[in-house]
């Protein structure tokens, strides 16, 4: 094949420093329909998922590549807004200790919200720090110290008592009843310093996820509806939702991989 200047195509490519493959390249038409359907289905089931969770749980197991999935995901405009980092002054930071095995350290904290009617409610969240597993979310309009102790007793019956329980200085946590419960089961209570929620960062991070994916995502008209949806979400969080700090494994699978004889009651 001669060009209009009397040069062969090969010599013309060499003179212009062009690749022969680029000259012969024909764009391949891809059908992204099945991938779009998978993205839409994954987001319908988990509206609070970003790209990382969506890809790890729904797309990668089906054989789609990450680059293609991100291109289609961004093209659909599904990307979530990124939260800007808060600039804090430099200070001494104590590293958060990760327990060596399951049932070593539990973290607990309260959250507040409201039903559609305006009726206020509280949740009492308990996690295992080793694998970030959600052990219990107790929900009611009022959660006094007796209710907290009862919830912890039920957990101990199922899983045994932990060695440590990390708490803040809320009135329910500094009660005499809770101290008697800890003495009865031989549990060391570790209180965080006032105004330093980062000392209980694992449960605080869980609270944010629970609020984003459940409390702020839906409108609830009754406590029964909230409890039902919370338990469904908690099961998916423990058994299916990949966790970046656990190597992409859900909490239950991570615990089983670290200790195959570990059993779970979540």
The C-alpha angle with vertex 135 and arms to 113 and 152, in degrees rounded to 5, equals 85
Q: What's the average model confidence in pLDDT over 23-33?
A: 75
Q: Considering only 39-43, 168-172, 208-212, 249-253, which range has the smallest mean pLDDT?
A: 168-172
Cα–Cα distance list, 106 to 70, 77, 131, 149 (Å)? 37, 39, 10, 14
Tell me phi and psi for residue 242, to 5 degrees: -65, 145
Relative to beta strand 105-114, strand 120-128 is antiparallel
Answer whether residue 132 shows pLDDT above 90: yes
Q: What's the average model confidence in pLDDT over 51-69?
A: 86
**Is 213 or 84 the better-scoring residue by pLDDT?**
213
- pLDDT, position 212: 92
**Is 12 or 253 the better-scoring residue by pLDDT?**
253
**Sheet of 105-114: strands edge to edge?**
133-140, 120-128, 105-114, 164-167, 188-191
The mean pLDDT value of the chain amounts to: 84
Q: What's the average model confidence in pLDDT over 193-222?
A: 88
Q: How confident is the model at residue 188 (pLDDT cuts 50, 70, 90)?
A: very high
Q: What's the average model confidence in pLDDT over 211-233?
A: 94
For the chain, the 3-state helix, strand and coil shares in percent, each to the nearest 5, are: 45, 15, 40
Q: Considering only 14-23, 100-109, 240-249, which range has the smallest mean pLDDT?
A: 14-23
Q: Where are the beta strands (DSSP E) in 58-199?
A: 105-114, 120-128, 133-140, 164-167, 188-191
Structure tokens at 53: 């969770």
Answer whether residue 44 shows pLDDT above 50: yes
Answer whether residue 92 shows pLDDT above 50: no
Q: What's the average model confidence in pLDDT over 117-137?
A: 95
Question: Considering Cα of 234, then 97, then 104, then 131, what sign does the dihedral take?
Answer: positive
Structure tokens at 75: 């093209």
**Is 163 or 92 the better-scoring residue by pLDDT?**
163
**Is 39 or 140 the better-scoring residue by pLDDT?**
140
């Amino acid at each position: 094949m001669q060009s209009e200047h009397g040069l062969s195509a090969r010599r013309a490519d060499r003179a212009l420093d062009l690749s022969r493959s680029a000259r012969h390249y024909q764009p391949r038409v891809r059908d992204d329909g099945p991938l779009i359907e998978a993205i839409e289905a994954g987001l319908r089931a988990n509206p609070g998922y970003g790209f990382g969770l969506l890809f790890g749980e729904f797309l990668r197991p089906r054989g789609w590549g990450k680059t293609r999935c991100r291109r289609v995901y961004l093209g659909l405009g599904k990307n979530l807004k990124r939260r800007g980092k808060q600039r804090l002054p430099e200070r001494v930071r104590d590293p958060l200790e990760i327990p060596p095995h399951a049932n070593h350290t539990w973290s607990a904290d309260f959250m507040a919200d409201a039903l559609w009617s305006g009726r206020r409610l509280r949740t009492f969240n308990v996690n295992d720090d080793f694998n970030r597993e959600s052990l219990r979310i107790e929900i009611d309009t009022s959660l006094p110290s007796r209710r907290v102790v009862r919830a912890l007793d039920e957990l101990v019956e199922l899983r045994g008592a932990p060695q440590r329980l990390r708490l803040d200085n809320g009135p329910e946590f500094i009660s005499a009843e809770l101290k008697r419960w800890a003495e009865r089961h031989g549990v060391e209570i570790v209180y965080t310093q006032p105004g330093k929620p980062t000392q209980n960062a694992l449960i605080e991070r869980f609270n944010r996820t629970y609020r984003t994916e459940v409390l702020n995502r839906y409108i609830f008209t009754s406590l029964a509806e909230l409890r039902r949806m919370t338990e469904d979400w908690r099961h998916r969080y423990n058994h299916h939702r990949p966790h970046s700090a656990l190597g992409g494994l859900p909490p239950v699978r991570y615990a089983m991989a670290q200790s195959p004889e570990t059993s779970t009651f979540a």
